[in-house]
Amino acid sequence: MLRDITLGQYYQADSVLHRLDPRVKLIGTIAYIIALFMCTNVWGYLAVTVFLCSIIVISKVPVKFMLKGMKAILFLIIITVCFNMFMTQGEVLVSFWRLKITKEGLIVAAKMAIRLSYLIIGSSLMTLTTTPNQLTDGLEKLLGPLKKIHMPVHEIAMMMSIALRFIPILMEETDKIMKAQMARGANFDTGNIFQKAKSLVPLLVPLFISAFRRANDLAMAMEARCYKGGESRTKMKPLKYQGRDIAGYLILVGFVAAVVATRWIP
């Protein structure tokens, strides 16, 4: 159920993608998203699909594992698709009651569905193959120049990685509290929208309290170990580019160029 959301989870495996420098993966994800939204025709989508599929194969993360993550956001995708399908003006194909499905609407909806699911698969691939620690390191290194203008880069990176780390824990907690309240006769899925919203109180209050308690414990544990971010902090495993990272960048440049090139294919 809730714990099926794979976004923000790490999948242990031994692949080139796992060993890649996190900076390459971060920049790669951004480049991939930009490329995805630059597609204008079938060829563009084909290029992205080929890229995504090869990455999935290389990552050694089971496809099933990724699809399970998709299940959770299927609802979001369906809503987006419906809106696009019914709201776009154009040549009417089918109409019933007050709803019309137009040809343009279908195309927009299909594009939207592909983009959304590719976006989510692509970005979850990054978190699936990168540990939160690596992710922080990569972010911090990439945003390093911003320190010059007094941005608390280290702190931001730390906060982000902690937030990511907490997603699965909070999911599990939600599941547990939900069950505990159901054992007391709580009902989460019946009634009108107001009753439903009200029925969430017994879930949300303990969840928030638990999140604060965890945050507090974590802060305490960090301080107990004399954690101090920023300037004088050194790294146990400083990031260094290897041959494969350079190759990764080259492949990325090639990929983006290919997608851009498809714009000129009629």
Q: Which residues sit at the interface with another protein, rule CB under 8 A?
A: 62, 64, 176-177, 179-187, 201-202, 205-206, 209-210
Closest to another protein by CB, 39 vs 66, is 66
Token reading at 225? 């170990």
**What are the residues whose beta carbons fall under 8 Å from the beta carbon of 259, sequence distance 6 or more?**
35, 38, 39, 44, 47, 48
**What are the residues whose beta carbons fall under 8 Å from the beta carbon of 199, sequence distance 6 or more?**
186, 187, 188, 191
Q: Which of 75, 63, 78 is nearest to 1 (CA)?
A: 75
Q: Cβ of residue 178: shortest distance to another protein, in angstroms?
A: 9
Number of H helices, E strands in the chain: 10, 2
- Contacts by 133-137, CB closer than 8 A, 24 or more apart: 133/161, 134/22, 135/22, 135/26, 135/160, 135/161, 135/164, 136/160, 136/161, 137/22, 137/235, 137/237, 137/239
Q: Cβ of residue 205: shortest distance to another protein, in angstroms?
A: 4
Q: Cβ of residue 182: shortest distance to another protein, in angstroms?
A: 6
Closest to another protein by CB, 42 vs 201, is 201
Closest to another protein by CB, 182 vs 197, is 182
What CA–CA distance (Å, rounded) separates 144 from 223?
24
Closest to another protein by CB, 101 vs 186, is 186
- Give, in order, the Cα–Cα distances in Å from 51 to each of 121, 135, 162, 244, 254: 12, 22, 30, 17, 11
What CA–CA distance (Å, rounded) separates 170 from 176?
10
Closest to another protein by CB, 64 vs 240, is 64
Closest to another protein by CB, 185 vs 243, is 185
Closest to another protein by CB, 117 vs 210, is 210
Closest to another protein by CB, 202 vs 229, is 202
Q: Cβ of residue 63: shortest distance to another protein, in angstroms?
A: 12
Q: Cβ of residue 193: shortest distance to another protein, in angstroms?
A: 19
The dihedral through the CA atoms of 12, 66, 36, 144 has a sign that is negative
What letter represents residue 181's amino acid? Q
